[in-house]
Chain A
């Protein structure tokens, strides 16, 4: 089983600032089959990034993903008020399809 470890647990930032979220895998994630999801309170998870760096349909270009093998990053270039949420990484290169524990991005 691939274990995903996200850091930091909580990120306290102001609107307009840059957010950098990390996801580290215990084994190589083949073919960069790594996704990022956003979840706001009381809402369903929403796919942001797949294939480590490809934005899903309708996702603003302030969201970007990068990385390969075991180290992946989600960057939000300038935080908008609606971006404060919990973000999860997920690998889909092997079963079980594991998720990281999440990073909360909160308003400072």
Chain B
């Protein structure tokens, strides 16, 4: 069964850091570009970041550039999002998603709350 499972969410103070993880199963991770998409409470979908299949290329939304870092370990079937200098506006459910052109597989999401 093709599946993505995110973890690492929680409550963090502004300016602090948090790391998210996404575990893939049921497919060969190393052949797929992977993305992070977030959704603030009651709001729409907001693309955050992407990483190429070999991990060599990373892409970021302007709103997170310089603060977030995406990476992957294909040997462990894992994708990561390191979030630094967090802001209240980063509060959202964070989804990882597989890119097959469009995003055909999504994880269940992990909630990140940035609040003092």
A→B interface (CB under 8 Å): 33, 35, 37, 39, 44-47, 50-51, 56, 88, 90, 92, 95-102
Q: Report how far A50 CA is from B46 CA in the complex, Å.
A: 18
Determine the main DSSP class of B at the interface with A: strand
The winner among B35, B44, B109 for most chain A CB atoms within 10 A is B44
Nearest B residue (CB) for A50: B102
How many interface residues does chain B have, given as a range? 20 to 34
Q: Report how far A99 CA is from B102 CA in the complex, Å.
A: 11
Q: What is the 8 Å Cβ interface bit string for chain B, positions 83-101, against chain A (1 contact, 0 not)? A: 0000000000001000101
Q: Report how far A25 CA is from B96 CA in the complex, Å.
A: 25
Nearest A residue (CB) for B35: A97
Contact B102 A88 (CB under 8 A): no
Q: Report how far A86 CA is from B101 CA in the complex, Å.
A: 21
Nearest B residue (CB) for A93: B101
